[in-house]
Chains A and B, each alone.
Chain A
Amino acid sequence: MNSEINTADSQDILLEVKGLKTHFLLSEGVLKAVDGVDFTISKGESLGLIGESGSGKSVTAMSLLSLISSPGEIVGGSINLHYDDEKIDITSLNPSGKDIRKIRGNDLAMIFQEPMTSLSPVHTIGAQLEEAIFLHRTKNKSEARVIAIDMLRCAGIANPEQRFNAYPHQLSGGMRQRAMIAIALSCQPKILIADEPTTALDVTIQAQILDLIKDLQAQFNMAVLYITHDLGVIAEVCDNVAVMYLGKIVEYGAVREIFKNPKHPYTISLLKSRPRMTKRGTERLASIEGSIPIPIDLPFQCRFADRCSEVMLGRCDIAEPEMSQAGNKPGNNHWVRCFLNEKLD
């Protein structure tokens, strides 16, 4: 469909997601949290996946690691992880099998929003770090300790030898997030999935953590998938951005292009609705009417049609738009899912 969305040569591709569908079978009906998502991540790339709560961005991330539990299920599509000489389709692996466990933490690692709830409160930071290292890197205890302390230092934790024996509750929020980054990076993954990594942190700490991830990304030549609802984070750290709405990507492109020249009415209103640091609060904010619906029994139409200010009756409410290239410039890697864009061509 739109497998052309490539940012680089196919050699550089690390992860290729095609037509991913993750549905939840509820008593009320089938909740289509992710309903046909395509994107690729290349070596060293920072891709931002942005959307409001309920858009399916976190479910997409969990699907990448095959961490969807009942009643959820990956019902379609493929997630291909590229190695030098082979590809592995994560959706074809048993979600609790040996093969996927080799990938989780080793090739694909994840950091979460709330470090207090995602770290174990009854194990020391060191023990949690060593667990990952034992699984994937070495069986030697003293060697694992050296790697662990080294990782803590990399993550900007002062006195790593002491912190190694600390429990999560003894650390501040920023320190915990650093510890979690150390755990995630301890096996030098190819791709780091950062699900709202700074949402729970103060703005001063957020800046430090984003800088840290950027530095480590360069150091380990790692790709990062940022999942966030904060456009500022996207502007700050991402190369490319995919805007998600109701289980589908509605716009994709380079960050500069999307911020300067957004095409989808949803992206446009999202950008307009944020208050700005650099602007006097004299103008009224543009807001999007209504709120994101629950994706059960959605009518066959553009998913944004009910909230869209540009809706074309007779067009948007009878069919669903496909991804189409924005602008006629060749090599312009900007894609949008909107009939308005098709009309202009």
Chain B
Amino acid sequence: MTDKNIQTNDRQSSNSIKTANADEADNILNIRNLTKSFRVKSGIISKNEWVYALDNISLSIGRGETLGLVGESGCGKSTLGRCIVRLYKPQTGELEYNYIDDDGQPQTADLAQLSNKQLKAFRADIQMIFQDPFSSLNPRMTVFNLISEPLIANKITSKAGIAKRVIELAEMVGLNAQHLRRYPHAFSGGQRQRIGIARALATNPKLLVADEAVSALDVSIQAQILNLLDDLKINLNLSYLFIAHDLSVVRYISDRVAVMYLGRIVELADTDELYTNPQHPYTEALISAVPKSEPDDVVTRISLNHEIPNPSAPPKGCHLHPRCQYAKDKCKTDIPALRETKPGHFAACHFAEELSLIGVKDEE
């Protein structure tokens, strides 16, 4: 674990946007100006095209916080999750991870710049829960082997202690000892997701990235898993980045929510504030598109024109302007910065203060 001391914090954070009220050193993760682009090969003669999956993203995740991340498919939300667990290496920007070292001293490391070897010490701290419990578990391994694999790979438990720890983890996620000898195919979707969660928890992580962790599940099973994630967060003192496209699930589980559109964060606020009082036209449209929860609810539907544009050739200025009903000339040329429009509420819209947008009306 001493490897963790390779980088200490001597950075100036003047150019970064403050995205949380709390002192930045208290956050478990500060993301600053993160950029990740992918090359789309378009032929032998023609030039390479680049897709900016993440375009200068700045965001913080507080300790013990659940940060929800929503957006349409292709907006880059999964790419952000994968950069955080460093399945992808971002081109530029910082992933400032704050942790307590073995001596009890607060330390900081920039995960974005570490090599794979240096990252080894941090892999255990940041883990991921995947969407599809059918394709993310090896069908040829028993549940016992699946859960013990991260323990062995990260040398976390002594050989003798593995069995005890696996049973402990299984019970933590609501599986019992009999399940451990079976193979994944013998389980339902909800139980498989529990296995995936046990695997993620095996290394005693501090931060979990849940990428559409409940999207593949039926609503009654989804409720079981959401409750489980809630309990684990409190019992194990975890922080979550909860990536989802289902706005009602995000409302339920998140403390704060970030909305992404074409590689940029367009709005960020406390959950209740964001839902009841959106400040960005995209958030308004997303909220209004959700099917009503009762037949008698009245929903004003604000539709976006057209579909999400080709991400390799996004519109200039504000990416949303061709679809936005409030767009003016300025939107076509100037990129709006993510700025604090109210205390704790950030929006990337030139006209955030002038627009009066419709959010959800909370029921009593």
Contacts and interface: CB of A to CB of B under 8 A. Distances in A.
Interface of A: 52-53, 172-175, 202-208, 210-211, 229-233, 235-236, 255-256, 259-260, 269-270, 273-281, 284-288, 291-292
A73 to B, nearest CB: 25
Contacts of B223: 273-275, 285-288
Contacts of A230: 219, 291
B289 A277 contact: no
A277 B307 contact: no
A278 B362 contact: yes
Interface residues of B, number: 50
Contacts, number: 139
A319 B291 CA distance: 38
Interface of B: 72-73, 188-191, 218-224, 226-227, 230, 245-249, 251-254, 271-272, 275, 285-297, 301, 303-304, 307-308, 360-363
B363 A278 contact: yes
Contacts of B248: 232, 274-277
Given A273-B222, A284-B227, A232 B251 contact: no
Nearest to A239: B295
B251 A235 contact: no
B296 A275 contact: no
A275 B360 contact: no
B220 A204 contact: no
Contacts of A276: 248, 251-252, 293, 363
23 contacts: A172-B307, A203-B72, A207-B288, A207-B301, A208-B303, A229-B219, A231-B219, A232-B291, A232-B292, A235-B292, A269-B220, A274-B219, A275-B253, A276-B251, A277-B251, A277-B290, A278-B293, A281-B253, A285-B223, A285-B227, A291-B189, A292-B188, A292-B218
Contact of A256 (B222, B292, B296): B296
Contacts of A278: 293, 297, 360-363
Contacts of B360: 277-278
Of A208, A273, A277, A284, most B-chain CB atoms within 10 Å: A277
B291 A206 contact: yes
A284 B246 CA distance: 18
Contacts of B253: 275, 281
